Amino acid sequence: MKKFATILAIAAGLAAAPALAQEGWYAGFGLGVGNLNKSGQDLTGLADAQVDDTDTTYTIRGGYRFHQNFAVELGYYDLGKYGFSGNIGSEYISGSAKAKSYGLSLVAIAPMGAFDLYGRVGWEESEIKANANSALFTANESDKQSGATYGLGGRWNMSKNVGFFVEWMKNDKIEVDSYLAGIDFRF
């Protein structure tokens, strides 16, 4: 009897899976950590520069799931603020670089009952704003770049309208690996 109840529960869960993988609009947000994949010298040009290579990241995103296996998504990613310091001769320099991007992605989805595995690939516009300070000067610089964005993730569909996701995301031009967790809402 216990085996029969287990089989019945599994069958009911699998039967409900198509209802969780519904097509339509969704929006979500996530919070996580970013890891900068640049050395202090690469970021600043200073031979002895030190860089804080970890910071908080977040995303706000929305999309349309037009098939149970595909969606198109527009997202904004704040990729963190990374401090740096170093010397030019005897002159101490410190500052920070802040990275953000927005992009459009095609998301391929593999529904697995109440869970989805997904991968994304798309196009992004990124910006890094940097400032550097010393006793003698202050400098500000901004750089905008376009390139590929991609990522992998998983989502637990807690109900028909709410899902919890975890995701790794990266942009080609801004070398930050972003690890996020968040909530998606389906409409």
Q: What is the pLDDT of residues 121-148, one digit of tens each?
A: 999 999 989 898 888 889 899 999 999 9
pLDDT for the residue numbered 89: 81
Written as one letter, the residue type at 88 is: I
Better pLDDT: 163 or 44: 163
Burial grade of 2 (CB within 10 A; 0-12, 13-18, 19 or more): exposed
State the amino acid at position 119 in one-letter form.
G
Q: In angstroms, rounded to a whole number, what is the distance separating the alpha carbons of residues 164 and 7?
A: 26
- 16-20, 93-97, 108-112, 177-181: the lowest-pLDDT one: 16-20
Note the pLDDT tens digit of each residue in 19-34: 445 799 999 999 999 9
Torsion of CA 42, 44, 50, 53, to 10 degrees: -70
Question: What does the alpha-carbon distance between residue 101 and residue 148 come to, in Å, rounded to a whole number?
Answer: 11
- Judged against a pLDDT cut of 60, whether residue 168 lies above it is answered with yes
The pTM of this model reads 0.80
